[in-house]
Structure 1
Amino acid sequence: METSYRKPRKRGRYVKKIVDDYCVVDIETTGLSWQRDQIIEIGIVKVRQGHIFDQYVQLIDPHKDISHFITQLTGIDNDMVFGMPELRDIIDEVLDFIGDDIIIGHNTAFDLSFIANHFGQDIENEYMDTLQFSRKVYPHLPHHRLTDMVELLGLSNNEHRALADCIATHELYEHLKQHILQNQIPL
């Protein structure tokens, strides 16, 4: 699916809150530009009362070759996505799954820019970013990448796969949330 938009779509409204109910969203893509690259996998973890309640994951046929670099990074190759649904075929089920939940991710603006622009519609949900929370809680660290935080805190291994990254991000948010509450760190 070729994307060409005149004006970038709205990716939601950034907030900082302590919440127990939310959806963690992560995507894998053919590259870093929502204008040129395609989504090849989307994962969502629905959280209720701080615990994973449901999950959604889907590989997507980008109708574009996946580079060797992206395959090395994600483990997703052209054979894996061949014959998978096209993005337009899953838009409604993804949006229905998320509903009105607050969206959480690590570097959320990246994922939501792709989603809003490739879905062709504004995202109205509030969203939060564990990258920003990590910087607030651990300002002394040189890097706050998800991989770094997973290693530091001994969380589930993220694999640059959508569902695994959602689970790691959920664990990270719950850890950060407890740290913020216990230490009364202002948001």
Structure 2
Amino acid sequence: MAYQKQYYKRGHYVKKIIDDYCVLDIETTGLSWQKDKIIEIGILKVRNKEIVERYSQLINPQQNISPFITQLTGIDNQMVEDMPVLSSVQDDILRFFGHDPIIGHNTAFDLNFIANHFQINLSNEYMDTLQFCRKVYPQMPHHRLTDMVEFLGLSTNEHRSLADCISTYELYEHLKKEIIRQHISI
């Protein structure tokens, strides 16, 4: 599928301390939503700071996964060959999100893929733990999810969607406490 030059909206960026939200992470065949495809999607539904539901799905990208991506994610062509294509799970994904705010680490990347591959304007609010990390830990040279997981001793970041969602959830809950404790303006 070729994507038009039209860019679909990825939602509305906000900065809030909230207890009910969804956490999103995707794995892709590369970094460009115009050329690359989604190969895995993970979502956590959080209510009152607790994970209450999980969604995880490998996706057949209908193109080859490079050895680099396989090495990074552990996802290979054989794993996705009998999986659904993205369009067949689109409604499930959108239903899972509902109107919840969406949280992720470098969220714009994930939501650009979702909005443009689904060819819809998302109306959900979204937040980015990467931006919160820069506010709370300005002294750190890098704020990648892997760096933050290691620095804070959170669940291991594996470059798999659901595992990265869990790391991002733990990171957001930690950051909320630090923002309140340190009286940081977001």
TM-score, normalization by structure 2? 0.99
Counterpart contact for 1:31–1:70, Cα < 8 Å: yes
How far apart, CA to CA, are the structure 2 residues paired with 1:3 and 1:155?
A: 39
Q: Counterparts of 1:87-106 in structure 2 under 5 Å?
A: 87-106=86-105
How far apart, CA to CA, are the structure 1 residues paired with 2:67 and 2:130?
A: 27
Structure 1 residue 27: Cα displacement: 0.2
Task: Please name the residue that 2:129 is paired with.
Answer: 130
Task: Please name the residue that 1:170 is paired with.
Answer: 169
SS at match of 1:157: coil
Q: Does 1:184 align with 2:183?
A: yes
Structure 1 residue 4: Cα displacement: 1.4
How far apart, CA to CA, are the structure 2 residues paired with 1:97 and 1:84?
A: 19
AA aligned to 1:109 is A
How far apart, CA to CA, are the structure 1 residues paired with 2:131 and 2:110?
A: 15
Alignment: residue pair count: 186
Structure 2: gaps of 5 or more residues: none
Deviations 1:120-156 (A, max 9, x none): 1011100000000000000000000000000000000
Task: Please name the residue that 1:78 is paired with.
Answer: 77
Structure 1 residue 25: Cα displacement: 0.3
How far apart, CA to CA, are the structure 2 residues paired with 1:170 and 1:50?
A: 9
Counterpart contact for 1:24–1:104, Cα < 8 Å: yes
AA aligned to 2:110 is D
Structure 1: gaps of 5 or more residues: none
AA aligned to 2:77 is N
Counterpart contact for 1:74–1:159, Cα < 8 Å: yes
AA aligned to 1:165 is D
How far apart, CA to CA, are the structure 2 residues paired with 1:3 and 1:153?
A: 41
Runs of 4+ in 1 over 3 A off after TM superposition: none
How far apart, CA to CA, are the structure 2 residues paired with 1:167 and 1:30?
A: 22
Counterpart contact for 1:3–1:118, Cα < 8 Å: no
Task: Please name the residue that 1:140 is paired with.
Answer: 139
How far apart, CA to CA, are the structure 2 residues paired with 1:65 and 1:86?
A: 13
Q: Percent identity?
A: 67
TM-score, normalization by structure 1? 0.99
